[in-house]
Chain A
Amino acid sequence: MGSMKEFLWLIVALPFAGSLILVIAGKKLPRLACAFVGVGSVSLSAIVTLLVCISFLRGNPGGTPYVESIWQWMNVDGLSPDIAFHLDAVSLAFIFVVTFVGALIHLYSAQFMWKDEGFARFFIYMNLFVGFMLTLVLADNMLLLYLGWEGVGLCSFLLIGFWYGDPANGYAARKAFIVTRVGDFAMTIGLFVLFINFHTLNIQAILTAAPTTWAVGSGIALTTALLLLGGALGKSAQLPLQTWLPDAMAGPSPVSALIHSATMVTAGVYLIARTHVLFELAPVAQTTVAIIGAITLLVAGLAALNQHDIKRVLAYSTISQIGYMFLALGVGAWSAAIFHFMIHAFFKALLFLGAGVVIWSLDEEHNMFKMGGLWKKLPVTFWTFLIGAASLSALPLITAGFYSKDKILWLSYASDKGSVWLWLAGLAGAFLTALYAFRMVLLTFFGDVKKEPSQRPGLMMTIPLIVLSILSIIGGFIELPGDMGHFTMFSDFIEKTLPATLVNISGHYTELLFQLISGLVAVAGIGTAYVFYYNKAFPAAEPQRNAVQNFFYKGWDFDLLYDTLIVRPVVFLAQMDKNDVIDRFYNGLASLALWFNKLLSATQNGMVRRYAIVLAIGAIITLTIILYL
């Protein structure tokens, strides 16, 4: 066991191996074998993660990072990144969530996707995704991180467009890819800036060198931090690059659970936490992170409140919850952000899987207004979904979501970078969250039965739901606030890697007051939802919306804005530019080749004697040249 952590590479290699096996043999293997490989590889990876974790923590109270170098990737003119994995508290928290939540979602998918034609293809993409995600969070240099970053983007594209028969799904996949690419472009430039300044892309080396090279608040630090933030905004679907995530719901529900809520979209949070030194050197950039988080959580919360598609509610909710994480990062509450990432991964994966069961058993019905009364029909799904929604709404004391979100709300005010405005935005968001979460629960599971479920989930689908709902409750007890036992296991662990939050305000009474307010707000949100949506007879159709509601429903019309400002001008220019000089040159080349082709094929007339004459004439000409020239 002592050397178990040397098997760190296996955690990454296993999902890739599973994907490779299915690429080679997926078409010939029966479904059961495909499921076995697909689920087994990620589950094995989770077990190895557990063993590596035990080995890493044993006799290592200081949390000294463990670096495992596999081989040197390249060595070109000073750029010599390794394929190397860096294990510390932050990456450990991330690989834990990725492998364990990933394994549960894979198990669920085995039944969810059983009747689908692309069963093997689904597991190829899913395993590939897990492999790239682990590469991203374990990478010890920016280039390997970037490889994982683009790899998860690719898998996201492939899985959003998984049902490619419908052109709308392909459109959603391309949109996700292109919009995140805008952010990735900024991030790429950020990497160039880092390399030019530090002559290395090793993350730890950069973090060590940066404070001695760059002054706090210097322009170069600000530029770099903002460029990296651009990448994080695209990947984590934050304002102004959030438009792709609601459309990404075109993919199967397990994909939404794994990629578009639990893991990939939190890569931006990981990136900012990982490069926290750069953001601390640029206070303006860090404040920007907090403000973007605060605005995003309100924008997405209001949008979630006006959706009728259950998955789009959850998509906007994800954007909003990642807004909370950004808010936490922006006020320097690093461990609170990672804590909320972990708890969010539990309850949001649970909610997506629960929504998946509902959609699956109602034959692809997404509209919540056409559902109802399901709590008797799908009891396990109902109870687990209720726990997930309670955790999302941060129901005080019993749910994990309360402990993680309350910590962010408290620190958004109490930290040295906090302010009352950030806290108020977070509080308003908390009210919205409770309201839309219970609006969703009440519309879906209560009221009249509008459609009978055609199939019931089996154990493979309910076990992940139950496990995740237990985690959504007990996950919060590893970190209790200062006035409630002050149990800080998780933040102690994370603060081995990330700096502790500086708190200005002391005194448990203030903290208690803030908790009371946020608890009351959550309960008020649930109560409001109860008043407006409990057992109300809504027509089973798309709801009527007034102009304001329609504006929120369309995600604040960001799509329209980008369409008018960017997409249409680009398309117009492209059409204008279709027949320019350069195109004419290449078109001319093509028609010249065509003309020669016609000429030469005319000589190929099938008459053997003509060929013989041409041969004879050719021989005479050649002889004449040889003899007389």
Chain B
Amino acid sequence: MNIQLEQGMLLAAVLFLTGLTGLLVRRNIIFMLMSVEVMLNAAGLAFIVAGSAWGKADGQVMFIFILTMAAAEVAVGLALIIQMFAKFKSADTNRANTMNG
């Protein structure tokens, strides 16, 4: 089966915008983290599609990188969420605004 480059890129763009919208409209930090994951995967999809369109392995290599980075990011992010919850008793990011100038 041969997927067109444009179709794949369109899907990646839709996914990225979904994630970005989620990041901007949600206040709950866990949902924001999930939205970031969606955006990361959208970027990964774009790499895969581009790699397969040009018949090169580079896109897949980049996707492995993104996967690894996402795992690390989630580990740190979840730890930060636990800390934030312990301190502010809430997952609302608007409450965690004590570091203002």
* Interface residues in chain A, defined as those with a beta carbon under 8 Å from any beta carbon in chain B: 600-609, 612-613, 616
Q: Does B27 contact A (CB under 8 A)?
A: yes
Number of A-B contacts (CB under 8 A): 33
- For the complex formed, measure the closest distance between the CB of A185 and the CB atoms of chain B, giving whole angstroms: 49
Q: Does B2 contact A (CB under 8 A)?
A: no
| Complex: A605 Cα to B23 Cα, angstroms | 18
| Complex: A565 Cα to B43 Cα, angstroms | 81
Chain A hits for B98, CB < 8 A: 606
**Is A612 in contact with B23, judged by CB distance below 8 angstroms?**
yes
In order of increasing CB-CB distance, the 5 nearest A-B pairs are: A604-B101, A606-B97, A601-B101, A606-B100, A608-B93
Chain B hits for A604, CB < 8 A: 99-101
Interface size class of B (residues with CB under 8 A): 10 to 19
Chain A hits for B20, CB < 8 A: 616
| Complex: A616 Cα to B39 Cα, angstroms | 12
**Is A609 in contact with B27, judged by CB distance below 8 angstroms?**
yes
- For the complex formed, measure the closest distance between the CB of B101 and the CB atoms of chain A, giving whole angstroms: 3
Q: Does B14 contact A (CB under 8 A)?
A: no
Nearest to A605 among chain B residues (CB) is: B100
Chain A hits for B32, CB < 8 A: 608-609
- For the complex formed, measure the closest distance between the CB of A60 and the CB atoms of chain B, giving whole angstroms: 76
- For the complex formed, measure the closest distance between the CB of B16 and the CB atoms of chain A, giving whole angstroms: 11
**Is A609 in contact with B100, judged by CB distance below 8 angstroms?**
no
Nearest to A602 among chain B residues (CB) is: B101
* Known contacts A612-B23, A612-B24, A613-B24; A607/B101 CB under 8 A: no
Chain B hits for A616, CB < 8 A: 20, 24
Nearest to B23 among chain A residues (CB) is: A612
Partner of B99, one of A600, A606, A609: A606
Chain B contacts with A in 61-90, Cβ cutoff 8 A = none
Nearest to B100 among chain A residues (CB) is: A606
**Is A607 in contact with B94, judged by CB distance below 8 angstroms?**
yes
| Complex: A413 Cα to B23 Cα, angstroms | 102
* Interface residues in chain B, defined as those with a beta carbon under 8 Å from any beta carbon in chain A: 20, 23-24, 27, 32, 93-94, 96-101
| Complex: A603 Cα to B100 Cα, angstroms | 8
A-B contact pairs, 13 of them (CB 8 A): A600-B101, A601-B101, A605-B100, A605-B101, A606-B99, A606-B100, A607-B93, A608-B93, A608-B97, A609-B24, A609-B93, A609-B94, A612-B24
Nearest to A597 among chain B residues (CB) is: B101
Nearest to A604 among chain B residues (CB) is: B101
| Complex: A605 Cα to B100 Cα, angstroms | 4
| Complex: A613 Cα to B27 Cα, angstroms | 13
| Complex: A609 Cα to B27 Cα, angstroms | 8
| Complex: A616 Cα to B19 Cα, angstroms | 12
Chain A hits for B94, CB < 8 A: 607, 609
Partner of A605, one of B24, B93, B97: B97
Chain B hits for A607, CB < 8 A: 93-94, 97
- For the complex formed, measure the closest distance between the CB of B77 and the CB atoms of chain A, giving whole angstroms: 12
Chain B hits for A602, CB < 8 A: 101
Most A CB contacts (10 A, CB to CB) among B32, B93, B97, B101 go to B101
| Complex: A604 Cα to B27 Cα, angstroms | 18
**Is B96 in contact with A606, judged by CB distance below 8 angstroms?**
yes
Nearest to A601 among chain B residues (CB) is: B101
Chain A hits for B97, CB < 8 A: 605-608
Chain B hits for A608, CB < 8 A: 32, 93, 96-97
| Complex: A616 Cα to B99 Cα, angstroms | 21
| Complex: A600 Cα to B100 Cα, angstroms | 11
| Complex: A601 Cα to B100 Cα, angstroms | 8
**Is B101 in contact with A603, judged by CB distance below 8 angstroms?**
yes
- For the complex formed, measure the closest distance between the CB of B30 and the CB atoms of chain A, giving whole angstroms: 13
Given A607-B97, A608-B93, 16 more A-B residue pairs with CB atoms under 8 Å apart are: A602-B101, A603-B101, A604-B99, A604-B100, A604-B101, A605-B97, A605-B100, A606-B97, A606-B98, A606-B100, A609-B27, A609-B32, A609-B93, A612-B24, A613-B24, A616-B20
- For the complex formed, measure the closest distance between the CB of B97 and the CB atoms of chain A, giving whole angstroms: 3
- For the complex formed, measure the closest distance between the CB of A605 and the CB atoms of chain B, giving whole angstroms: 5
| Complex: A603 Cα to B99 Cα, angstroms | 12
| Complex: A541 Cα to B18 Cα, angstroms | 94
Chain B hits for A601, CB < 8 A: 101
